[in-house]
Chain A
Amino acid sequence: GLPMYGEILSPNYPQAYPNEVDTSWHIEVPEGFGVHLYFTHLDLELSENCEYDFVQILSGGIQEGKLCGQRPRKSADSPIVAEFRVPYNKLQVTFKSDFSNEERFTGFAAYYVAVDVDECTEFLDVPCSHFCNNFIGGYFCSCPPEYFLYDDMRNCGVNCTGDVFTALEGEITSPNYPSTYPENSRCEYRIELEEGFQVVVTMRREDFDVEPADADGRCQDNLVFVSRKQQYGPYCGHGFPGPLVIETGSNTLDVIFQTDLTGESKGWKLRYHGDPIPCPKDVKANSIWEPEKAKYVFKDVVKISCVDGFEIVQGSVGSTFFYSSCQSDGRWSSPDLVCQRTRDCGPPAPLEHGRVAEPEDTSFGAVARYSCVEPYYSMEPDGAGLYRCSGNGSWVNEVLGAELPECVPVCGVPRKPWAAAQQR
């Protein structure tokens, strides 16, 4: 609905304009067009820098021109006395007169038309990454062969995403390698191996040539590896700057290569292979692993037994061993189970008519000695006073087991002899 042309006349034109006029016209033509504004008549009071009466042309807040006085025709075969072209579709025209005009001035007559703009050339910003095509009222971008236009309709790139590598070993290169890689692209590859294998990437320095980092150290073109556990990179430059062998610890790895608009480098080539994910040989204290190996990998199972006096407590249940398996993520199952001291035997039970020398330490192996109140009581069975804290948390005697001995009264032995009781 916007006009393609129009007319602007000073008040009372072609009669003299009044004093103290302050009028503005806002011109707007359709998007994709510029404005051509031309004056066919101009008769205003002349003043230095057009201070008194003037007509001012503004585009986007910037003054395109300020006119006063009279202007002659620019050429004999044209009625135009002044003209302006802007590549934008909006323009503002303002007319002002001061409070006193001693002479009679007839003002101005101006016309505008919408004119096509060549967006591909008339702006400082390059609108398209590759090819720009102008048409009346707009433009469009296009791409070279094998490139495609991104959704922003301005940028072109190559389609290099989506390759999934599942073989246990392989090689991946940047597009066109060893020829220069395409600009303005993002390539996402994925290495996806069987669970239990980790991706190991091997890179040779000479197989890597990516536009070096900018002055701020940022890699505009870069290669990044992303595993489940961590990210490696971004890498750029001449020669691979990272470790030549990367053990990712993960069975999947995303390889992401990103390029900007500029630069001409040959790209990169990497090799990868799958390695069974190892579980750490993390033999905890007081435990024995069977079988013993230098390296444990996915699907290995070990029996972890506790040494005497130690046990594994799961909930309220204690046992002397458990099985742990090396999982696909490189972690042992039940990693929190450790051999801990068996439950404390606690203080030995009291013995009627006896005493117990209670040890400070009442855990496994501790010794408690029972004795009877002598000479009035004796132990039955004789000498059964030694108890050890056993692995099951109870005090145990070699003969009686967990039972306590008895302190029985010593019979028939007076503490004072009856001197007369001698056989005659």
Chain B
Amino acid sequence: MNIFRLLGDLSHLLAIIILLVKIWKTRSCAGISGKSQILFAVVYTSRYLDLINAFISPYNTIMKIVFLAASYGTIYLMYMKFKATYDVNHDTFRIEFLIAPAAVLALIVNHAFEPLEILWTFSIYLESVAILPQLFLVSKTGEAESITSHYLFMLGSYRALYIFNWIYRYYAENHYDLIAIVAGIVQTVLYCDFFYLYITKVLKGKKLQLPA
């Protein structure tokens, strides 16, 4: 464990908490993409199956359980409890166009052709594009509540911090995983436009308005 990965995990945890608080407090999931939340649940489920047979550390196990519970809890809040506030008309990204290519690519480019390895690779590829429905929704509505933009900033920062973690581990432990690194860079690049808007607007107290 290194400071970059710890900060990244905490940023990720904070993002998930911000989202749950936002939905619970405002009793509304307006502006949130249910499609992205479904993709995140698929990502965590396919990646954390090793909870059954691999124990790495209490921290690792607890965080995986928290991420799984929070992602399914968010889906429950969005599609059941506060279903009436779900923006079904704008949340129209075809997630099958993200899941299928990630699955095909995982079968072709992987470290080993074994079930758990393929599922892990699929989850890495899918996570890199899982935020697209959310960014698509924000661009369609043209704006986002400031708490939603804080959620997105934390979520984008988590994988950006992981990139520093991979650089650190390359020099400190002479290890690297190209699949995770390439997908992590793609994932972070997708946030760049949002990061720019967040830093130039939201941090100045303005609302996040996308240029129409």
Partners in one complex: no
Q: Give the interface of A toward B (CB within 8 A).
A: none
